Structure 1
Amino acid sequence: MERGEYDPTYIWQRPDWPVWRYDLRRLAGPLAEVSQLQGRLLGRLSDVGMVLRSEASLVTLTDDVVKTSAIEGEQLDVASVRSSVARRLGVDVGALAPVDRHVEGVVAMVLDATLDAHATLTAERLQAWHTALFPTGYSNLTRLRVGAWRDNATGSMQVVSGPMHRHKVHYEAPPAACLDVEMTRFLEWANADTGEPALIKAALAHLWFVTLHPFDDGNGRMARAVGDLFLTRADDSPQRFYSLSAEIQRRRSAYYDVLERTQKGSLEVDEWLTWFLATLRDAIAAAQVSLDGVLAKARFWRRWASTPMNPRQVKLVNRLLDGFEGKLTSGKWAAIAKSSTDTALRDINELIALGMLRRAEGGGRSTGYELAPVEPDQVAGTESVDRRTKPMAHPTRPIDR
């Protein structure tokens, strides 16, 4: 399918491709709002010290890796992701969970995009990301052309949904024969000082890459990593404290819808940019809440740092600090700790006697337990975090091809 054979269906078929057009005056308000929120978040983080910044960055990067895969319907093990990120960042989180090659590959891509954001974006670098994403050379049972631009051996690259006999084509990417020229043009733009505001360039880079769809699979995750690279440049900080992928995952349907409309529209991309900036705004707001959790957890363990606890108690307290869903009963305690109910009750009563735990209100048929709040005046003024701390990173589709 070559351009010019019929009326353009997709933006890459238009004669003025890829001259992006947008109204910067309309976007000035959202840009200013996001920039202000970025400044507030980074300013707040500048006051908490290096240890807690590392903890907050660990939470964010773990969430980013988990959620960019969840957008494509792939659920990664959170503990494995966290262990991989922590090891690469040099953050001590105690015992590390086993990590498989696939998790390591996603983590390697995300961290390379953010920790080395100012390095030149090259074809070799993108192809290395792709190789890391698919260490076996397969996606499920499909053999991939790994670490190289796709070819048309199996037909044109389409994003589809629905059953095979009546699937719906949402988008068709440029022919493989165009990719050398198209990717060269994209990378020249990516590495040049092209004059766009930094956040606009991040949004355009994300859109441009996913429109080219240069690989057999993994294009969605890689587009988000490319976007994160430019967001990191915009922040001018190698540490990540908010996750755009996590916010995209929360509004996944809208993400695919706005991409489809944009890729079937003109090169006027105000709608995409407006959506991107609104999603980024909410991601930064969510990061403030996540930071509250990191600080509350650190405050809690500073308060109780010298209190002897057994491993079962440490494990369950951390589960509560991480946002335990539902009511924690003695039966659930026993199940999670792999202990008897009598042992669970003894653990619980010890913590109640210390004032660390309390009975929750509205008991019902079984008693629930919750952490007692820690007041600021109960905490010594030190930044150190007890290594029992285990930052929160919970997993919350469809086509990544």
Structure 2
Amino acid sequence: MIKRPPSSDQLPKSAWAWISEYQPERRLEYLDFYTVVDSKGRYLPFDEFRHRIPKGLAVDIAWALTKEARSRTRQWILGLGEPARFCYYNDIPAIQKTKTLVDQATTTAALAWANRKIGEEQNFSYMLEDLIEDEAISSSQLEGAATTTLVAREMIKRRREPRTMDERMILGNFRMMRYVWDKRSLPLTTELIRELHAIGVAGIDDEKYRPGIFRSADNVVVEDSDGNIVHQPPIWTGLEDRLNRLCHWVNTDHDEIESQNYIHPLIKAISIHFAIGYEHPFNDGNGRVARALFYWFLFKKDYGAFRYISISNLLKEAATQYGKSYLYTETDEMDLTYFVDYQCSVIMRAIAAFKGHCQRTIEDIERFNKWLFNAGIYAKLTEKQKIVFQVAKGNSNSIFTARYVEERLGCSYNTAASVLNGLVDLELFEKRKDGKEWVYRLRSKNDIQNSWTAS
């Protein structure tokens, strides 16, 4: 459990007056805490702040000074709960840096540049397909799905029916992520929120999740791993009205940069993520809907590269810290900076991973084309076969079916089957029958080299 900060009414009305009366000789030391972030640029929550106070200084007084400094630069965002609690945040350097990176690297225009660098947009989107799947899989695993990533990818690529509840969860998330992309031009409504939930959880355990139905009781709580209640959502009465107010705020234009009401799209997307988690409108599955709406808003604002950037992949690795970022905000007078700051740290790493993947993809294509040319294979492959072969080389565990290639390359089923069988004839792929379906996979590097050397 985290250490909750003292409330405003527990702190002296004037920290400086207290210092002047009780510790005037240490005034300069206290002055170091009259700042929004510490000397390392960290926006520390009280739980960590209290351990960094020099011996002899009063922790609550140092905290009161920090709170006063933060109050002078905060920006109010939105109200949540009943009675309404208003969230605010401070635009600290770490958040500013993330906003700049998002603007530089994740817009649809930036993605188009990468497409041109590779040469064909279709190649690029197919090669990044695993990244689209990552968020759906990781978001489910964050919520407890036990299915491995490899098995989950196999299910999605083969379009096979899920065999377990965990696989149903992953497939529901995959469909939900596709849905938010398709619906990115729509305004947010409570009906859209319901539809997202229904798509994401239907058929998993309908009695538990109640797909698409807002909760109608106050029997839902969030517990930590030890069973302690860490979040009691606001009362269910008035929930739909509060969600309608949230939708109105989301649909309000905050894009005018010269306006006092300006909110960067990334901050707004993260705020939506937090709001759904805080209001907890459904019996279960709220986290998945919250993260899906985060993506939906960024898609709406033309940050197309987020289709390939998974935040859940990193949130899953530090689920405890993810939970704490909610708690730090809720227990410190709805200071959303903690949640925004943590999400920004995750997004920074996720974008770095995405950029690294793109760079490796570009380099792999260049090496691949050179090898194809030198080995005399290039002239034997069709353009579609080159795409599929390159994708397979990038992930040797990938499986392919004619139905999947048909969908990804936008061709007919017969053309897709011809592409795959042609790769088998060239001794680059192998195939096996699985039920009624042929499944194709890249042969091992040694087998390919031996076959072409022998020929």
- Could you say whether these structures have the same fold, taking a TM-score greater than 0.5 normalized by the shorter chain as the test? yes
C-alpha separation between the residues in 1 aligned to 2:143 and 2:379? 44
Which SS does the other structure have where 1:263 is aligned? helix
1:200-215 equivalence runs, <5 A: 200-215=267-282
Q: Structure 1 residues 354 and 118 mapped into 2: Cα distance closer, same or farther (>3 Å)?
A: same
Which SS does the other structure have where 2:237 is aligned? helix
C-alpha separation between the residues in 2 aligned to 1:350 and 1:181? 62
Other-structure match for 1:156: 219
C-alpha separation between the residues in 2 aligned to 1:114 and 1:63? 15
Q: Cα offset for 1:220?
A: 0.5
1:16-31 equivalence runs, <5 A: 17=85, 19-24=86-91, 26=93, 27-31=95-99
Q: Structure 1 residues 297 and 217 mapped into 2: Cα distance closer, same or farther (>3 Å)?
A: farther
Is 1:351 aligned to 2:438, yes or no?
A: no
> In structure 1, which of residues 111, 114, 121 is the aligned counterpart of residue 178 of structure 2?
111
Which SS does the other structure have where 1:170 is aligned? strand
Other-structure match for 1:223: 290
Q: Which amino acid aligns with 1:32?
A: T
Conserved in 2, the CA contact under 8 Å of 1:60 and 1:242? yes
Conserved in 2, the CA contact under 8 Å of 1:79 and 1:97? no
Q: Cα offset for 1:45?
A: 3.6
Higher helix share: 2
C-alpha separation between the residues in 2 aligned to 1:351 and 1:224? 44
Is 1:63 aligned to 2:134, yes or no?
A: yes
Other-structure match for 2:241: 181
C-alpha separation between the residues in 1 aligned to 2:448 and 2:223? 57
Conserved in 1, the CA contact under 8 Å of 2:137 and 2:170? no
Q: Cα offset for 1:318?
A: 8.0
Other-structure match for 2:395: 322
Is 1:47 aligned to 2:47, yes or no?
A: no
Other-structure match for 1:123: 190
Other-structure match for 2:160: 98
Is 1:256 aligned to 2:323, yes or no?
A: yes
Other-structure match for 2:212: 147
Q: Which amino acid aligns with 1:183?
A: L
C-alpha separation between the residues in 1 aligned to 2:263 and 2:121? 32
Which SS does the other structure have where 1:21 is aligned? strand
Which SS does the other structure have where 1:24 is aligned? coil
Q: Structure 1 residues 355 and 131 mapped into 2: Cα distance closer, same or farther (>3 Å)?
A: same
Q: Structure 1 residues 355 and 71 mapped into 2: Cα distance closer, same or farther (>3 Å)?
A: farther
Q: Structure 1 residues 84 and 296 mapped into 2: Cα distance closer, same or farther (>3 Å)?
A: farther
C-alpha separation between the residues in 2 aligned to 1:230 and 1:271? 21
Q: Structure 1 residues 355 and 171 mapped into 2: Cα distance closer, same or farther (>3 Å)?
A: farther
Q: Which amino acid aligns with 1:171?
A: H
Q: Structure 1 residues 243 and 291 mapped into 2: Cα distance closer, same or farther (>3 Å)?
A: same
Higher relative contact order (CA 8 A, sep 6+): 1
Q: Cα offset for 1:349?
A: 5.7
Conserved in 1, the CA contact under 8 Å of 2:216 and 2:236? yes
Q: Mark the runs of 5 or more structure 1 residues left unpaired by the alignment.
A: 1-6, 87-95, 310-314, 325-335, 339-344, 357-401
C-alpha separation between the residues in 2 aligned to 1:125 and 1:108? 14
Which SS does the other structure have where 1:188 is aligned? helix
Conserved in 2, the CA contact under 8 Å of 1:61 and 1:85? no
Q: Structure 1 residues 284 and 45 mapped into 2: Cα distance closer, same or farther (>3 Å)?
A: farther
Q: Mark the runs of 5 or more structure 2 residues left unpaired by the alignment.
A: 1-6, 9-78, 163-167, 255-261, 382-387, 398-429, 433-442
> In structure 1, which of residues 35, 50, 61 is the aligned counterpart of residue 103 of structure 2?
35
Is 1:172 aligned to 2:172, yes or no?
A: no
Q: Structure 1 residues 111 and 57 mapped into 2: Cα distance closer, same or farther (>3 Å)?
A: farther
C-alpha separation between the residues in 2 aligned to 1:85 and 1:181? 37
Q: Cα offset for 1:41?
A: 5.3
Conserved in 2, the CA contact under 8 Å of 1:80 and 1:99? no
Other-structure match for 2:343: 276
C-alpha separation between the residues in 2 aligned to 1:320 and 1:75? 27
Conserved in 1, the CA contact under 8 Å of 2:274 and 2:290? yes
Q: Cα offset for 1:34?
A: 3.3
Q: Structure 1 residues 79 and 12 mapped into 2: Cα distance closer, same or farther (>3 Å)?
A: same
C-alpha separation between the residues in 2 aligned to 1:45 and 1:161? 43
C-alpha separation between the residues in 1 aligned to 2:305 and 2:185? 9
Conserved in 2, the CA contact under 8 Å of 1:71 and 1:249? yes
C-alpha separation between the residues in 2 aligned to 1:346 and 1:209? 46
Percent pairwise identity: 18
Conserved in 2, the CA contact under 8 Å of 1:105 and 1:132? yes
Q: Cα offset for 1:149?
A: 0.4
Report the TM-score when normalising by structure 2.
0.58
Q: Cα offset for 1:54?
A: 1.4
Which SS does the other structure have where 1:216 is aligned? coil
Q: Which amino acid aligns with 1:129?
A: L
Aligned residues: 309
Q: Structure 1 residues 71 and 226 mapped into 2: Cα distance closer, same or farther (>3 Å)?
A: same
Which SS does the other structure have where 1:131 is aligned? helix
Conserved in 1, the CA contact under 8 Å of 2:127 and 2:391? no
Deviations 1:166-212 (A, max 9, x none): x2111111111131121111111111213311111011111111111
Q: Cα offset for 1:81?
A: 5.2
> In structure 2, which of residues 179, 187, 199 is the aligned counterpart of residue 132 of structure 1?
199
C-alpha separation between the residues in 1 aligned to 2:444 and 2:127? 33
Q: Which amino acid aligns with 2:117?
A: D
* More divergent stretch after superposition (286-295 vs 117-126): 286-295
Q: Cα offset for 1:274?
A: 1.7
Other-structure match for 2:355: 288
Q: Which structure would you say has the larger Rg?
A: 2
Other-structure match for 1:330: none
Report the TM-score when normalising by structure 1.
0.65
C-alpha separation between the residues in 2 aligned to 1:317 and 1:184? 47
